[in-house]
Amino acid sequence: MDVRVRFAPSPTGALHIGGVRTALYNYLLARKHKGTMILRVEDTDQNRYVPGAEDYIVNSLKWVGIQIDEGLEPRIRQSERKEIYKEYVSKLVETGHAYYAYDTSEDLEEERKKDPNFQYDAKTRMRLNNSLAGKKSDGPSVIRFKTPSNVDVTVNDLIRGEVTFNTSQVDDKVLMKSDGMPTYHLANVVDDHLMRISHVIRGEEWLPSAPLHVLLYKAFGWEDTMPRFAHLPLLLKPDGNGKLSKRDADKAGFPIFPLNWQESIGYKEAGYLPEAIINFLVLLGWNPGTEQEIFSMDELIEAFSLERINKAGAKFDIQKAQWFNQQYIRKKGPEMVEFLMANRSDCDRQKAERIVEVLKDRVTFQKDFLTMGKFFFEAPTTYDDVLNKKWSPAADLFFTKLEEVLRRNPDPAAFKMNIEVAASETNVKSGSMMQILRVAITGGTAGPDLVSSMEILGAPEVADRIQKVIEYGKKGK
């Protein structure tokens, strides 16, 4: 089977992170079957068009590594295909599957006032202002689909199985607006047919539209080549209570967009690696059937199948995204070395390598190398309270001795020994001094392995920092 899939965003704003997941599943299926990934910009709703959104979508896909085979150059935009939709909708009118309607919005408003459940359908259409009812007009008109009355339409969804809808719930949808622009339904079905799309993989919110699409395929006589449908589970709020929205993400303090958009910070700018985002997103709704969690894009292409997509919504757990980021940062030692050198002019390669080595299991984001690693370049200017609380005559004695020992023997390999020497000469337990030592060196109580950190700093610098703390301790007490 020739697998041809499309990602069909509407440029009405920034791409939501859930949209990236939809694009990803399409891409994985295409690559797995050596098929084609198409980008189609569904920009027929001119009122909702947002300048910049299309480029934003393209850049976001590029950032996460989703490659487009068709539709990028030249760009496929529905707004530029108006004539095609006109031609196809005329066929539906000719075959009696669609009709012209002349009702004004005031007319329809009036109907709704009379009956709040009013629907333009088989029950009402013959008394309204349209060509089926024998009306004619030179004024503005729309073209509506003549939805067959009271039949069951079954959508065979690859994720949900058979989903049946009765057409009595479906109104006669507008296919072509009075300005000659197609609506989503018409353009979507015509394009999926003309572009020989094999699988329509999209969000669950489009499931209610699927029966209409099936009816359109039938009306066009394209039933035999109709694409297969796969409606993806929703992304849920972290507590599982309803669909994830931008507001939920803002409230919980995590990004909702892949890249910066207006005032909103994107995943990229927040410090997430594209590999981590891909890995995190793919598992929101799909499972490999094994315990494996870390997947490269190539491994995903190999492992992916639509059958393993879950029906149930997936809870959005940002901690999991951070965990993936951590895993990928660990794998990227050499890149982190370059990053550190690029951001600290006072850091040579050897020092950068050693810092990355001691920090790499502790950081979540690349920028943490700069914050957690600041003490490697600058002596602390403030100290954790614990220093005041724990400072004692014994500490004064011990640190005075330690400073002296370090000045005498600055061998960077001798820190452990020097600490023990100072401890035995002052009769103080070294273990009870380690927390103060850490505060003296780093300013805080948590951080990477202390001895390794001191080795990187070197004995003279460590001795200077200890000297400062002795003065501070004397003043503080």
CA distances from 44 to 37, 99, 180 (A): 21, 21, 10
Reduced to 3 DSSP states, what percent helix, strand and coil does the chain have, rounded to the nearest 5? Answer: 50, 10, 35
Applying CB under 6 A, which of residues 202, 231, 344, 351 lies at the interface with ligand GLU?
202
Q: Which helix (H) or strand (E) holds 232?
A: strand 228-232
Q: Which stretch binds ligand GLU (CB under 6 A): 5-13, 131-139, 332-340, 441-449?
A: 5-13
42 or 54, CB closer to ligand GLU? 42
Report if residue 204 touches ligand GLU, rule: CB under 6 A. Answer: no
Residue with tokens 């599982």: 240
23 or 436, CB closer to ligand GLU? 23
Report if residue 8 touches ligand GLU, rule: CB under 6 A. Answer: yes
Q: How many angstroms separate the CA atoms of 137 and 103, rounded?
A: 10
- Closest approach of ligand GLU to the CB of residue 188, in Å: 5
64 or 440, CB closer to ligand GLU? 64
Applying CB under 6 A, which of residues 188, 279, 326, 366 lies at the interface with ligand GLU?
188
- The Cα diameter of the chain in Å comes to 109
DSSP structure class, residue 309: B
The SS3 call for residue 462 is helix
The SS3 call for residue 239 is coil
9 or 258, CB closer to ligand GLU? 9
Site residues for ligand GLU, 27-66, by CB under 6 A, read 42
Whether the ω angle into residue 74 lies within 30 degrees of 0, i.e. cis, is yes
Tokens of 319: 């901690």
Residue 151 neighbours by CB under 8 Å, 6+ apart: 166, 167
Residue 3 neighbours by CB under 8 Å, 6+ apart: 29, 30, 32, 33, 34, 35, 36, 198, 199
Applying CB under 6 A, which of residues 4, 9, 210, 438 lies at the interface with ligand GLU?
9
> Is residue 475 classed exposed, middle or buried when 0-12, 13-18 and 19+ CB atoms within 10 A define those classes?
exposed
Q: Which helix (H) or strand (E) holds 24?
A: helix 17-32
Report if residue 121 touches ligand GLU, rule: CB under 6 A. Answer: no
Active site includes 246? Answer: yes
160 or 362, CB closer to ligand GLU? 160
Report if residue 470 touches ligand GLU, rule: CB under 6 A. Answer: no
Contact 73, 40 (CB under 8 A): no
Report if residue 206 touches ligand GLU, rule: CB under 6 A. Answer: yes
Q: Which stretch binds ligand GLU (CB under 6 A): 7-15, 104-112, 299-307, 412-420?
A: 7-15
Backbone angles phi, psi at 165, to 5 degrees: -125, 150
What mask of x and - would describe binding to ligand GLU in positions 147 to 186, judged by CB under 6 A? ----------------------------------------
DSSP structure class, residue 169: G
Report if residue 10 touches ligand GLU, rule: CB under 6 A. Answer: yes
Tokens of 5: 């899939």
Residue 292 neighbours by CB under 8 Å, 6+ apart: 303
25 or 99, CB closer to ligand GLU? 25
206 or 323, CB closer to ligand GLU? 206
78 or 418, CB closer to ligand GLU? 78
> Is residue 263 classed exposed, middle or buried when 0-12, 13-18 and 19+ CB atoms within 10 A define those classes?
exposed
201 or 363, CB closer to ligand GLU? 201
The separation between CA 141 and the C-alpha centre of its own chain, rounded to angstroms, equals 41
Q: Which stretch binds ligand GLU (CB under 6 A): 3-11, 107-115, 153-161, 275-283?
A: 3-11
Which residue among 218, 246, 315, 468 is the active-site one?
Answer: 246
Residue 341 neighbours by CB under 8 Å, 6+ apart: 347, 348, 349, 352
CA distances from 288 to 45, 140, 277, 285 (A): 38, 53, 17, 10
- Closest approach of ligand GLU to the CB of residue 381, in Å: 52
- Closest approach of ligand GLU to the CB of residue 204, in Å: 11
- Closest approach of ligand GLU to the CB of residue 230, in Å: 11
Report if residue 76 touches ligand GLU, rule: CB under 6 A. Answer: no
**Chain residues in the site for ligand GLU (CB under 6 A):** 8-10, 42, 188, 202, 206
Active site residues: 246
